[in-house]
Amino acid sequence: MWKGRFKEQTAALLQSFSESISFDWRLWRHDIEGSIAHSAALEKAGLISKKERAQIVAGLRGIGEEIAAGKFRFKTELEDIHMNIEAELTKRIGDAGAKLHTARSRNDQVALDIRLYLRDECDAISELLRDLQRALVELAERNRDIIIPGYTHLQRAQPVYFAHHLLAYVEMIERDLGRVADCRKRINVLPLGSGAIAGSTIVLDRKLVAKLLGFPAITQNSMDAVSDRDFAVELLAALALVATHLSRLSEDVILWASSEFKFITISDAYTTGSSLMPQKKNPDVAELTRGKTGRVIGNLVSLLTTLKGLPMTYNRDMQEDKEPVFDSVDTVKAALAVFAGMLDGTKANAAACAAAVADPMLLATDVADYLVNRGVPFRSAHEVVGKAVALCTQRGCDLPQLTLADWRTLSPAFEKDVARCFDLATAMAARKGIGAPSPKNVAAQLARWKKSLS
Ligand code: ARG
């Protein structure tokens, strides 16, 4: 491939070791878009004629159509997407094609392509994050009256609306959206024009290129521009967090779908059977999502590790950025889409939830609060109710079965109305501080999200 200083052919072993076309072919659309904009700057500088520009644009579009139709044959000996497209262009249009790489290096070209690719993917991922928020809000809305035990340490803690639990994930995803939008700002900067490292003696109008490609900003240091992959790290970090959130949601879904909980039933379309046990209906979507999170986190660590030892500026190591980036983008997009589909077909089981939330121990804190409202310091109240729990354990009964006399042996502050602590509706209505799950609050949050997602 290299003429000029090389007398020997590249060794076949090196060719297959160094090629990236097997994975960076997918940057073709962005590579072509970038080259078309670059050719406008070449024309403006008088380096190519209007006619040559037209040949370049038509040639590139023709190549693009063939790639889109799956008819283009990529060549490993041409190493990467940039060389494949440029070589084919020159083969087709001759000299005009050979002029395209003027004042450009693959170093700024690849930086441009990844930025264009990631900018598109930020938008696609944001759409999918919104869709998942919608699926969560709709599941919450369909089951807005269902109350379940909330858990800490996976031990029953306090009652919450099922909707409140789901809306917690909607909040997490909102922050994920913020992170994607934030790193998109730093992705959205034009690196082309930085050349291999130090720009070029042939000066092109970078502002024109930025305008044509929709970049609101231009990199200001050519060395930084060709060696910077921070923006990719940022997106991988944002995606690692998206995956981590999905993984936690997966864990909830897996627990809730178990016979032990039975809070939800996932549709047949989003579950799988067992090759051996006929009764099984497995929550594979959630398990695979949880499993794939390991890869997505690994991709972040992989790219950071690739970058950490690199001297300025471009080093070939940086070619290793692509596979982790592509893998995280593909994996997270697929998980988001399949998860939303699964939630759309998920039903909550009112009876099982009601049975679980009927556990009076979930309201032990409410009894302590009852005492606090009668002047008992919280620490003493906590101890008193702890003793009541111990008494129940000893007798094998539940808190509501204790008599007023029992309660009063523990604290004289108890009155007959202690029984009212165990009314679930009253208990929920009392949780009315900002962010707490009173029915009114949860309804307001559902309304807020429905509005902002519509
Ligand atoms: N395929 C290369 C990459 O992805 C393109 C840049 C190559 N630059 C170079 N000087 N060899 O990083």
Q: Return the CATH number at 383.
A: 1.10.40.30
Which residues belong to the active site? 153, 274
> CB within 8 A of 83, min separation 6: which ones?
1, 106
Which segments of 19-142 does DSSP mark as H helices, in order?
21-24, 28-44, 50-68, 81-93, 95-99, 106-142
Residue 5 lies in a domain: no
The identity of residue 234, as a single letter, is: E
- Judge if 30 and 147 occupy the same domain: no
pLDDT of residue 3: 77
Rounded distance from Cα 101 to ligand 1 centre (Å): 14
C-alpha of residue 55 to centroid of ligand 1, in Å? 26
Walk along the chain (454 residues) and give the pLDDT tens digit of each residue: 777 889 988 899 999 999 999 999 999 999 999 999 999 999 999 999 999 999 999 999 999 999 999 999 999 999 999 999 999 999 999 999 999 999 999 999 999 999 999 999 999 999 999 999 999 999 999 999 999 999 999 999 999 999 999 999 999 999 999 999 999 999 999 999 999 999 999 999 999 999 999 999 999 999 999 999 999 999 999 999 999 999 999 999 999 999 999 999 999 999 988 888 888 889 999 999 999 999 999 999 999 999 999 999 999 999 999 999 999 999 999 999 999 999 999 999 999 999 999 999 999 999 999 999 999 999 999 999 999 999 999 999 999 999 999 999 999 999 999 999 999 999 999 999 999 999 999 999 999 999 999 9
Q: In this structure, are 275 and 364 located in the same domain?
A: no
Do 336 and 384 lie in a common domain? no
- In this structure, the answer to whether residues 127 and 207 fall within a common structural domain is yes
Whether residue 121 is found in the same domain as residue 137:
yes
Q: How many Å lie between the centroid of ligand 1 and the Cα of residue 359?
A: 63
Residue at which a domain ends, from 355, 371, 397: 355
Please tell me the distance between residue 195's alpha carbon and the centre of ligand 1 in angstroms.
12
What is the distance in A from the centroid of ligand 1 to the CA of 86?
A: 14
CATH assignment of the domain containing 59: 1.10.275.10
pLDDT tens figures, 310-322? 999 999 999 999 9
Same domain assignment for residues 206 and 163: yes
Q: How far apart are the first and last CA of the chain?
A: 54
- The answer to whether position 447 is within a domain reads yes
Q: Are residues 131 and 44 in the same domain?
A: no
Nearest to 111 by CA among 315, 272, 255: 315
- What's the CATH code of the domain at 208? 1.20.200.10
Ligand 1: list residues with CB < 6 Å: 20, 24, 80, 106-107, 110, 314, 316, 318-319
Q: Which of 441, 426, 346 is nearest to 143 (CA)?
A: 346
* Interval 99-158: pLDDT, tens: 999 999 999 999 999 999 999 999 999 999 999 999 999 999 999 999 999 999 999 999
Same domain, 89 and 131: no
Which of 102, 133, 148 finishes a domain?
Answer: 102
Ligand 1 centre to CA of 315 (Å) is 8
Total domains present in the chain: 3
Of all protein residues, whose CA lies closest to atom 12 belonging to ligand 1? 319
Q: Please indicate, yes or no, whether residues 277 and 218 belong to a single structural domain of this protein.
A: yes
d(CA 16, CA 80): 11
Q: Mark whether 253 and 396 lie in a shared domain.
A: no
Q: State which residues form the domain around 28.
A: 12-102
Orientation of helix 106-142 relative to helix 28-44, angle to 10°:
130
Dihedral of alpha carbons 156, 157, 158, 164, sign: negative
